[in-house]
Structure 1
């Protein structure tokens, strides 16, 4: 068992954070380029949005395979091979002709992108002590935000300077170099215990997780919150590319520095959980996201930047807490439990445009915010239910302990 602040813990945490950054650099590098791609291909907002949503959809579906597979064959090899495949897929994207080929390549990339997110937290659950895992998960989620920031800035700046192809080539080079470092840093697993892989067993395990009253609300919270959060940025790029803001890809990429609010939120999540409990922290995060979304209605770029930072802080505070909660509450099949959380998470992202696009066409940005608040009302209610259930469970435990002492 690896304990916090030991050299092995630092090395393993650094490796997993690096891998996380590489995944999200590749996933989000095209996002600030969406207005440029829409113009180049003469596509609609919904059609060009498939550049993002198809990758997240196939990433989500791949998790259904990676999670149970990792419970059978181990987690380290899956993470190493999938990261290398991501870099090669990004290199392919740089040279494909036409929008259809680009979308097909993003599908392939999404399949590769799922390897590390599906099993990283399960790897921690196997190898780290509970305290070490809580701290590592916060840092790992913070690395997600840094990868999202880095990918968007790299994509936007190089895209405006040298074009879309150069942007993807640069991301591929960074990914392949980082993958070699990841292979070197990640320690060998010591505590992993393989479980025979059977399709029927994997399906039964998934059904068990979905029926667990401590897990399924967290799955919905993660997926529905991400539906709102990630698509907020996509529609914001279209809003800010138009009058009166008229921002180009470089500035749209820099806009994602607001993700630093999420880096802070995920890093502080363990401290907040220690005070409020995990369900209470999720509820607080959702409330902060709602406030941040409301602030974006102000027609001021400086206010919008602050609002996005507030929203990112709340979202990642909730996300880090929910993903760690799943890792702790799953007593068996941690790989499949964590993977299932991410299935919901990325399905939410990929299906978001189907929910938000009609409101965007109807009322523009105001419609997007209204539709988002409806979704957050659902996740807030789910968090409140978890809070109440946890209080009831604690009260029962106290009653049992008290009766046993007499």
Structure 2
């Protein structure tokens, strides 16, 4: 794979245009990268009740196997984005996937829960390079009129990887054990890293940026002074926190009466990520047609409706509610992540890192905090807290609808 190439930044033909071979290759590469990232990151989620039994941990404690990964990833995103500004998007994304695959292959050999947590934290650090650089790569290389679709396909890869990783670990645990399940995740990551290395088209518009503290501080101040970006960062925190909170603790609800589902059946719940895969790709096109401001309202409203549908103690309603919530979440994430890339301009890598730091901090902090609601009042308390978070998203969407458009968006 060629890692750099030169082209005039004003040469429109140098951008990846929809329908071209390079555009399809770029979409495929970032799709696979997002796929592997989410598969390795969230593969332990359906195993939380089992890991609680194996290691003698509580529901809140065992949820740390997800939260330490996302928390470490959040903290590593800004350093990773700065390294991608210096050394290029392609090298950072490829190295990130390869290192994460190695760490994932080590996870089955742990002898204690603390060892698993250490490896999962290092996995989060390793994975940071992929999301930190992917959004910037798409913003730099893809033609503006096709960026919504490209970002949607990247998020679709996240959704498909999250679904596949969760289902595979649940299924492999049922037919073998949880160690084999985690080994499968590592193999999946290694294969994706190789495919990504050979498939990603050359960067044509990447320009090295200074990573001196003064420049980073100046760029950060500019991002935080923007009328819209801080609200988008808050939106990321709330969206991902509510999403992970739901999927973390719905597993505990479904293994208990009146449902009593086994590991494979619980893993099948994560097949609902297919809804998110379709939502991301479709919403990306919708954004290109009617705009982000309108789409974000609709997606947050769907998330709220989905939560309420999960309240009845009937499996059909629970599944439908999770599906609606998942559709809304991935649609909202596609909308806000593309919005960040458009508003940030030359600092898009740093902006993407701050956005994703907020996103994964929401996963880590709120994903575990929801456990206290589960301990206090089981599913009704969980839904109450998640509804409050989504209402905050709706309030943020209202604020974002009032901000002035920047020149790049108007163009």
Check whether the contact 2:287–2:295 (CA below 8 A) recurs between aligned residues: yes
Matched, 1:154 2:168: yes
The residue correspondences of 1:120-131 to structure 2 (distance < 5 A) are 120-131=134-145
Matched, 1:7 2:10: no
164, 170, 189: which one aligns with 2:203: 189
Aligned match of 1:323: 337
Matched, 1:277 2:291: yes
294, 306, 320: which one aligns with 1:306: 320
- Give the Cα separation in 2 of the matches to 1:25 and 1:94: 15
Aligned match of 1:338: 352
Check whether the contact 2:149–2:285 (CA below 8 A) recurs between aligned residues: no
The residue correspondences of 1:193-342 to structure 2 (distance < 5 A) are 193-342=207-356
Aligned match of 1:171: 185
Aligned match of 2:10: none
Matched, 1:94 2:108: yes
Check whether the contact 2:42–2:165 (CA below 8 A) recurs between aligned residues: yes
Aligned match of 1:61: 75
- Give the Cα separation in 2 of the matches to 1:339 and 1:123: 12
What SS does the aligned partner of 1:388 have?
Answer: coil
Aligned match of 1:106: 120
Aligned match of 1:402: none
Check whether the contact 1:280–1:384 (CA below 8 A) recurs between aligned residues: no
Structure 1 regions of 5+ residues with no counterpart? 398-406
366, 369, 382: which one aligns with 1:355: 369
Aligned match of 2:6: none
Displacement of 1:310 in angstroms is 0.4
Instruction: Deviation per CA, 1:140-181: give whole Å up to 9, x if none.
Output: 111110000000011100012110111111111121122111
- Give the Cα separation in 1 of the matches to 2:394 and 2:343: 20
May I ask how many residue pairs the two structures share in their alignment? Answer: 394
Displacement of 1:93 in angstroms is 0.7
Displacement of 1:276 in angstroms is 4.0
Structure 2 regions of 5+ residues with no counterpart? 1-14
The root-mean-square deviation of aligned C-alpha atoms, in Å, is: 1.5
- Give the Cα separation in 2 of the matches to 1:24 and 1:294: 26
What SS does the aligned partner of 1:94 have?
Answer: helix
Matched, 1:139 2:143: no
- Give the Cα separation in 2 of the matches to 1:211 and 1:251: 47
